[in-house]
């Protein structure tokens, strides 16, 4: 972890503390203390278990995709380190852009060959995106109308996030099933780009994008051949997402907010995640807290309870991952790592 990454992590923690300090500025400290003393620790432990369980499921996904017949599986401890490192770099980079490269480095350190590691991560990304889309489509039917009726501005952000996500899925499908057309489409799309950045730079960018499309297409052929492996990974990914989306439900129960429906709360959490993903600030700081407070105000009337619910939810879904990720970086795999010095700089 570079000094720059450490600085960003510290800044994100400070920003988080500042946000909660601002939200708590009008609260009576005695009310907050009373809420804490009456916290149902057992439901909170369930919330923690769901969060930890989602990382364990992601670990199983990685092992399934890495496994080849006749080969020994990647050690569980090595595999678990990958999603934990991902959590840290997702939280400290805009649009969670650092998660994929960080996973690659973690796999290289565990002795996985570079080309195979990149291939597996690409497969994992594809499966994850499709499972997220399935959850989001279900969410539209369950809770979007409620949000649109009560929170018009958030409904617009949700719709915008959906458009971005669907565009990614459409792009993936085009490459998988209409490879030649996608190459031509990219060439046409890059022509006007040359008006702004120049023809030479445009040609360089186009070659880079073509290389990525070729890599993805080659991997999509492998996906089509490994149907059983992909199906198992998809099931495990769905379980991973459901465990993650259930966290706020158990947080609410721990604060004795019992008049809630688990399906609706999970659907609302999906929408919060979609909204957070379109904020360029690392970890979606500010946008995540605002979305949670706005949406779950339907269930929580007590300001002290709301702030505590937001704090517990944000800690479990963001800061706990950062803490575990730092620990995962500190614990290096026992076997001799591959040459990753350049990637780590």
Helix (H) or strand (E) holding 109: helix 99-109
Q: How many residues does the chain have?
A: 345
Assess if residue 109 is contained within a domain: yes
Token reading at 176? 């998988």
CA distance to 45, 57, 176, 212, 322, per residue, from 248 (Å) = 12, 19, 36, 37, 18
If one counts the domains in the chain, the total is: 1
pLDDT values of the chain reduced to their tens digit, one per residue, 345 residues: 778 888 888 888 898 889 888 888 878 787 777 888 889 999 999 999 999 999 999 999 999 988 875 566 788 999 999 999 999 999 998 878 888 899 999 999 988 888 788 888 888 988 998 999 899 888 888 887 778 777 777 888 888 888 888 888 888 888 888 888 888 888 898 888 888 888 888 888 889 888 888 887 887 777 778 788 889 999 999 999 999 999 999 999 999 999 899 999 999 999 999 888 887 788 888 889 989 998 898 888 888 899 999 999 999 999 999 999 999 999 888 755 444 444 444
Q: Which of 11, 41, 48, 102 is nearest to 315 (CA)?
A: 48
Assess if residue 211 is contained within a domain: no
Assess if residue 216 is contained within a domain: no
State how far the Cα of 300 lies from the Cα of 255, in Å rounded to an integer: 10
Assess if residue 217 is contained within a domain: no
Assess if residue 179 is contained within a domain: no
Domain that holds residue 313: 3-152+233-340
Assess if residue 282 is contained within a domain: yes
Q: Residue 80 burial (CB < 10 Å; 0-12/13-18/19+)?
A: buried
Assess if residue 185 is contained within a domain: no
Phi (first) and psi of residue 180, to 5 degrees: -65, -40
State how far the Cα of 322 lies from the Cα of 327, in Å rounded to an integer: 9
Question: Are the beta carbons of 107 and 328 closer than 8 angstroms?
Answer: no
Assess if residue 80 is contained within a domain: yes
């Amino acid at each position: 972890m570079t000094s720059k990454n450490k600085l960003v992590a510290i800044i994100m923690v400070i920003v988080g503390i500042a946000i909660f300090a601002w939200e708590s500025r009008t609260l009576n400290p005695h009310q907050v203390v009373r809420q804490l003393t009456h916290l149902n620790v057992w439901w909170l432990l369930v919330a923690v278990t769901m969060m930890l369980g989602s990382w364990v499921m992601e670990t199983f996904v990685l092992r399934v995709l890495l496994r080849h017949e006749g080969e020994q599986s990647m050690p569980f401890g090595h595999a678990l380190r990958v999603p934990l490192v991902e959590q840290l770099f997702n939280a400290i980079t805009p649009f969670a852009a650092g998660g994929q490269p960080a996973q690659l480095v973690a796999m290289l350190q565990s002795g996985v060959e570079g080309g195979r590691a990149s291939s597996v991560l690409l497969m994992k990304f594809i499966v994850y995106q499709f499972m997220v889309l399935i959850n989001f489509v279900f969410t539209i039917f369950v809770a979007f109308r409620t949000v649109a009726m009560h929170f018009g501005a958030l409904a617009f952000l949700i719709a915008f996030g959906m458009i971005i996500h669907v565009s990614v899925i459409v792009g993936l499908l085009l490459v998988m099933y209409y490879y030649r057309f996608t190459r031509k489409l990219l060439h046409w799309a890059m022509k006007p780009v040359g008006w702004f950045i120049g023809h030479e730079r445009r040609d360089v960018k186009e070659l880079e994008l073509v290389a990525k499309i070729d890599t993805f297409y080659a991997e999509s052929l492998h996906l089509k051949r490994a149907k059983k492996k992909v199906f198992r990974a998809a099931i495990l990914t769905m379980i991973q997402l459901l465990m993650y989306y259930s966290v706020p439900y158990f947080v609410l129960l721990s604060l004795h907010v019992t008049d809630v429906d688990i399906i609706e709360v999970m659907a609302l959490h999906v929408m919060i995640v979609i909204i957070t993903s379109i904020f360029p600030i690392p970890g979606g700081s500010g946008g995540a807290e605002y979305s949670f407070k706005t949406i779950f105000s339907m269930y929580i009337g007590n300001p002290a309870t709301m702030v505590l619910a937001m704090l517990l939810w944000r800690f479990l879904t963001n800061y706990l991952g950062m803490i575990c990720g730092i620990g995962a970086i500190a614990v290096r795999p026992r076997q001799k790592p591959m040459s990753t010095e350049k990637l780590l700089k």
